[in-house]
Amino acid sequence: MALVVFPDGSRRDFPDGVSAAAVLKELGQRLQKEALVARVNGRVADLATVLPQEVEIEFLTFADEEGRDVYRHSSAHILAQAVKRLYPQAKLAIGPAISDGFYYDFDVPAPFTPEDLNRIEAEMARIIKEDLPITRFELSREEARALFEAAGEDYKVEIIDELPPESVISCYRQGEFIDLCAGPHVPSTGCIKAVKLLSVAGAYWRGDERNKMLQRIYGTSFPKRSLLEEHLHRLEEAKRRDHRRLGAELDLFSVREEGPGLPFFHPKGVVLYNELVSFWREEHRRRGYQEIKTPILLRRELWERSGHWDHYKENMYFAMIDEQPYAIKPMNCPGCILLYQRRLHSYRELPIRIGEMGLVHRHELSGVLHGLMRVRSFTQDDAHIFCRRDQVKAEILAIIEIVEYFYRTVFGFDYHVELSTKPEEAMGDEAIWELAEAALREALDETGMPYRVNVGEGAFYGPKIDFHLRDCLGRTWQCGTIQADFVMPEKFDLFYIGEDGQRHRLVMLHRVVFGSLERFIAILTEHFAGAFPVWLAPVQARVLPITERHTAYAAEVTCFLEEAGVRAELDARNEKVSYKIREAQVQKVPYMLVVGDREISEHTVSVRHRAEGDLGPMPPGVIRDRIVAEIKARRI
């Protein structure tokens, strides 16, 4: 007998050799219909899996993340099968589930066209209609090799050859199609209800640009047509939040052909920018930071000394001035270091925290430029902390606290953390890197926050903690970062005078909180869909006189607000109020103040909030106080 334990703790006996599917038959109708795979003793497995003697089992549906991944993964197999039917010469690479769907990479002689996608989608529908059972079988490494070699599937053979010796090699079969795959999968192709192929793009084999470029087809699938429609609708909605679109609509910024990746900030965008900077200054002054400004252009020698010339040249811009080679700064650290070196520093001064709103220029590949998210000139809210070794951890913790305060408390963002370790091209010896990594890791562990390790993604001079935020489509962008640097202090011979009167090597921390003002503004715009919190809103209140005879009073109200520090505007155009309101709404102005005969005689304003609607009449002082309080509290 097999003892089966369910998630609710209930237990039942089944005959030996019972499958998960057979157990499922004894359960509720709804679950039978929706179950895709089972979690068997913690491992996700096919429903056909034969259960061991004593087992904890849980059935997973599309509602579970793992169930969803399996569903999408099976969809990817159907995609591959369809492609093989239509293009037998196509070679299969990999086809995983991703957050909102799946993709499959193919090596084909000619790239797929959008019309090809339609044909493939139609073939997928046929495969789904055929309702082919999806079955697993295991085989030896030699058998697997022989199978895929005979089929001409070079990539699969490569994958097999690189599987660790102890691994079980499995394949999944559906009709005439067999794919090397660890699984699990849904029981049959008919389980997939609604599929849509979304796009084709080139993708390097194994993500390495030295390898062949394959054709990647992206798609998504859902158990119901309506869920797919909803998802596609959400994608459309997300596009309305796109900061590039809102940037133009709200007149915040633009990028022109005259300078790809070199953004122009418009007056309204600058208001936002300045608000962020003054908030940043306030918070950093409070936390013991000084602020400096260093040149954008410095002699090339400096960059040779810092290692940028050797490790970062490809990303830098250069200039000749009076026959001397110069470089435009891609980072602020060398400039800051020069200032640290201008005099001796006592151990009593440490840690020294020096901030800089530094405008840097980096030659990013043309294909990666993206609105304000990825540009070639941007302002980092940089700071460098010069400290003793025993101060490193406390300093890192203090920076993490600033990030948490900014991101979560002030802006209400959700974020995730990554630890990036030594890259291939790095300066400094192994021991120094281990020390630096340990410092970051210890601090992170102390906070208890979860983090992912990003192997080989660190800066060339040190490992880093990265803070990532999401855009409107769920893509993540690195914003904040903390880098522990034991290398630059060596390169530039940075020291302090200790209690003993001797020179001691110090440690340098590089850090940004916003990351870059540009990227942060982009994230901010998408997160709030352009309806910025009042303290950031370029226009905080717009006064709307009903007719010309109310303009004088409206101007008075506008002045009254401006005197209290509110960014108020008067809309004196000869238009109907409804027209002015619509415009103010479209511009996401938080407060609209309507004034007409009634307001003049009662000395009030009729207030409309962009989200709450008509708030009724109130004395100007009341709404002024409300707005001022909201600004002061930086309410979100």
Partner RNA sequence: GCUGGGGUAGCUCAACGGCAGAGCAGCUGACUUGUAAUCAGCAGGUUGUGGGUUCAAAUCCCAUCCCCAGCUCCA
Residues in the chain: 636
333 is catalytic: yes
468 is catalytic: no
Examine residue 586 and tell whether it contacts RNA (CB under 7 A). Answer: yes
125 versus 369: smaller Cβ distance to RNA: 369
140 versus 578: smaller Cβ distance to RNA: 578
What's the min distance (Å) between Cβ of 501 and RNA?
37
CA–CA distance, 131 with 104 (Å, rounded to integer): 21
Contact yes or no for 380/516 (Cβ under 8 A): yes
464 is catalytic: yes
Beta strand 324-328 pairing with 317-321: antiparallel
Contact yes or no for 36/62 (Cβ under 8 A): yes
Token representation of residue 587: 């511009």
| Binding residues for RNA restricted to 373-412, rule: CB under 7 A | 373-376, 378, 380
284 is catalytic: no
Of 221, 200, 217, 213, which Cα lies nearest the Cα of 95?
217
Q: Is 279 exposed, middle or buried (0-12, 13-18, 19+ CB in 10 A)?
A: middle
Examine residue 542 and tell whether it contacts RNA (CB under 7 A). Answer: no
| Backbone dihedral angles phi then psi of residue 430, each to the nearest 5 degrees | -55, -45
What's the min distance (Å) between Cβ of 112 and RNA?
7
What's the min distance (Å) between Cβ of 21 and RNA?
35
Task: Please calculate the CA angle 52-54-60 and round it to the nearest 5 degrees.
Answer: 75
Q: Which of 21, 108, 248, 338 binds RNA (CB under 7 A)?
A: 248
Examine residue 182 and tell whether it contacts RNA (CB under 7 A). Answer: no
CA–CA distance, 516 with 521 (Å, rounded to integer): 8
Give Cα separations from 170 to 41, 137, 183, 418 (angstroms).
20, 6, 8, 33
535 versus 553: smaller Cβ distance to RNA: 553
Q: Which of 42, 88, 109, 114 binds RNA (CB under 7 A)?
A: 114
| Binding residues for RNA restricted to 207-226, rule: CB under 7 A | 207-209, 213, 215-216, 218
380 is catalytic: yes
The β-bridge partners of 416 are 468
Q: Which of 575, 622, 625, 633 binds RNA (CB under 7 A)?
A: 575
| Binding residues for RNA restricted to 453-492, rule: CB under 7 A | 457, 459, 466, 473, 475, 477-481
510 is catalytic: yes
Q: Which of 113, 274, 278, 290 binds RNA (CB under 7 A)?
A: 113
Q: Which of 64, 407, 606, 624 binds RNA (CB under 7 A)?
A: 606
| Binding residues for RNA restricted to 320-359, rule: CB under 7 A | none
Examine residue 87 and tell whether it contacts RNA (CB under 7 A). Answer: no
CA–CA distance, 403 with 383 (Å, rounded to integer): 13
Q: How many residues bind RNA (CB under 7 A)?
A: 79
Which H or E run contains 59? strand 54-60
Task: Point out which span in 12-20, 220-228, 364-372, 552-560 binds RNA (CB under 7 A).
Answer: 364-372
Give Cα separations from 305 to 301, 383, 509 (angstroms).
6, 20, 18
The β-bridge partners of 453 are 419
179 versus 466: smaller Cβ distance to RNA: 466
Examine residue 95 and tell whether it contacts RNA (CB under 7 A). Answer: no
Q: Is 226 exposed, middle or buried (0-12, 13-18, 19+ CB in 10 A)?
A: exposed
Task: Point out which span in 36-44, 186-194, 361-369, 564-572 binds RNA (CB under 7 A).
Answer: 361-369
Token representation of residue 122: 């139609």
Q: Which of 89, 140, 366, 502 binds RNA (CB under 7 A)?
A: 366
CA–CA distance, 230 with 236 (Å, rounded to integer): 10
What's the min distance (Å) between Cβ of 241 and RNA?
12
Examine residue 162 and tell whether it contacts RNA (CB under 7 A). Answer: no
Q: Return the active site residues.
A: 333, 362, 380, 382, 384, 464, 510
